Homo-oligomer: A and B are copies of this chain.
Amino acid sequence: MATAKKLDCVILGLLSHEELTGYEIKKRMDSVLHYFWGASYGSIYPTLRELCEKGLATVRGCVQSGREKRVYTITAAGREYLNLWLRLPVQKDEIRYETLLKLFFGEAGGPRQAIAHIDAFERKTKQELSYLLAAKKTLMGCLDDAPAHRYYLLTVQFGIETYRAYLRWCQQARAVLQQADKKE
């Protein structure tokens, strides 16, 4: 359990709130979970099957407007499993930022190139930030609809704070590099 597959837990977590299809799970991954967890269909569908085999979820075929869907539901055992995992201490928080890697070795490419990477990073960060700000607004409007919303908001707030820190850093870093560029 200590080394439980994370995707099991993520999917179980999503199912603990609502019944979902594999396709919908992927959508959640790409929207609400997007900035701190990701997964592809190639991992989601097989995991879903495993979850059923382990008795942590059940499937139900469902024909909606002519299309066939497979709706997944969490079982009591699944909730137990999820709660067990939630109680365990966090094993690993990791960041893998290629931008920082390129910057770390950036001397080889010179200040101009490094600045270009920072510009791209800044653009992406601004975009993500505006998405998170919109998410926050939405959540603020329905905070009392479900107790889980407070927890969602906490993670959104995390993103907002860190993205703002990124943007401040971009300014600083660019200033340093522009200085270096002039000297060259």
Contacts and interface: CB of A to CB of B under 8 A. Distances in A.
Interface of A: 6, 9-10, 13, 16, 32-33, 35-38, 79, 82-83, 85-87, 89-109, 113-114, 117, 120-121, 124, 147-148, 150-155, 157-158, 161-162, 164-166, 168-169, 172-173, 176-177, 180
Contacts of A37: 96, 100-101
Q: From DSSP, what is the main secondary structure of chain A's interface residues?
A: helix
B16 A151 contact: no
Contacts of A90: 98-99, 102, 117, 120-121
Contact of A180 (B36, B121, B150, B168): B150
Contacts of A162: 162, 165-166, 169
Q: What is the copy number of this chain in the assembly?
A: 2
Contacts of A6: 98, 101
Given A13-B105, A173-B158, A96 B94 contact: yes
A15 to B, nearest CB: 10
Contact of A94 (B9, B38, B164, B165): B38
B98 A86 contact: no
A104 B33 contact: yes
Given A36-B96, A147-B180, A162-B166, 15 more contacts: A6-B98, A35-B95, A37-B100, A38-B94, A82-B105, A82-B108, A86-B105, A89-B117, A92-B96, A94-B96, A100-B155, A157-B172, A161-B165, A161-B168, A161-B172
A38 B100 CA distance: 13
